[in-house]
Amino acid sequence: MDIGGTSTVALALDPAGQVEAEIQLPTLKGTQGLLDTVERAVAGLTERSGRDRAEFTSLGIGIPGQIDHELGMVQHAYNIGIDSLALGPLLQERLGIPVSIDNDVTAAAIGAAHLMHLEGTTAYLNLGTGLAAGCVIDGLPVRGAHGITGEIGHLAIDPLLRQCPCGQKGCLETVASGSALTSFWRPDASGHLLMTAVAAGDPEATHALEQLIAGAATAVRLLVLTLDPHSLVIGGGLRLLGEPLISGIRENLDRSAAVSPFLASLEINSRIRILPEDSSAAAVGAALSYQS
Ligand SMILES: [Zn+2]
């Protein structure tokens, strides 16, 4: 299951990792809402897959927030109304099967590597409401000591020095994320609105898109220099801005390579892949994460 602030995607994987059934339902907030959402999703999958509930051997969940995978703890998942919750143990008790909890971006990284058949080291850059990354090495996620591997959105390096909710100024997330667009461009920002305004020659929209591209390209360079991945997948809702964003990132990377033989030698552009539009990577990765 991929539990997001507004909706939850749930799917059933067969032993070979193929999707058998999939449903989407609204996410109900708070502890009780979250538990009810999961139970309704399980019931829906039982019905759609035609399988007996007892045939489900494990449940994996990808959810925003700081996650302690070992303890199944979710913290700071504010857009779901959760401050701190032992979600894994609670669900395990209710459902009677092992439950694995991961950060949604880590889950998406696992799912993207699986669905796109990527081997070796895969870096996953999520350009969504926030900016964060995940890393998978030969199918296994890197979670880190405190579950914050890949939280590069809070690297403060942008000269605009915009205030970030984390307390710092100039975080990558304040220029290259959906929340940056709503905070610093316009409150009703959407990808469609942005591209329409850019096409109409709106200078503020053009500036917002340029910031987005520059921040995303910086995030790509950061991931390549820290992880040296075989593949770098760009996912998250903002990727649906499509060609203007993707070619903008590629051109930015080309410009930085043009002045640096070192960066040029890294062939960063050739490592980039775009997550397909209809992909349920986070839900697939969450389902697989019980084994990883
Ligand atoms: Zn920050």
> Residues 158-214: pLDDT tens digits?
999 999 989 999 999 999 999 999 999 999 998 889 999 999 999 999 999 999 999
Residue of 105, 67, 80, 90 lying closest to 27 (CA atoms): 80
Strand-strand pairing, 19-26 and 7-13: antiparallel
CA of 208 to the centre of ligand 1 (A): 18
| Residue 123: strand pairing partners | 135, 232
Q: How many domains does the chain have?
A: 2
Domain that holds residue 30: 2-108
Note whether 124 and 232 are same-domain residues.
yes
> Residues 95-117: pLDDT tens digits?
999 999 999 999 999 999 999 99
CA of 168 to the centre of ligand 1 (A): 5
The HSE-up count of residue 161 (CA atoms within 13 Å, CB side) is: 1
CA of 153 to the centre of ligand 1 (A): 6
Note whether 53 and 175 are same-domain residues.
no
Note whether 136 and 74 are same-domain residues.
no
CA of 181 to the centre of ligand 1 (A): 15
**Position 292 in a domain:** no
Q: What is the pLDDT of residue 292?
A: 57
Q: E strands within the chain? A: 2-3, 7-13, 19-26, 59-63, 66-68, 73-77, 82-85, 99-103, 121-127, 131-137, 140-141, 231-235, 272-274
Q: Helix 87-95 to helix 30-49 angle, to the nearest 10 degrees?
A: 40
Does the pLDDT of residue 78 top 90, yes or no?
A: no
Mean pLDDT across 228-250: 95
Neighbours of ion ligand 1 (CB under 5 A): 154, 164, 166, 168, 171
> Residues 3-52: pLDDT tens digits?
998 999 999 999 888 999 999 999 999 999 999 999 999 999 999 999 99
Note whether 134 and 63 are same-domain residues.
no
Note whether 157 and 244 are same-domain residues.
yes
On average, the pLDDT of the chain sits at: 95
Helix (H) or strand (E) holding 181: helix 178-184
CA of 172 to the centre of ligand 1 (A): 7
- Which of 108, 132, 157 is the endpoint of a domain? 108
CA of 12 to the centre of ligand 1 (A): 35
> What CATH number is given to the structural domain containing 47?
3.30.420.40
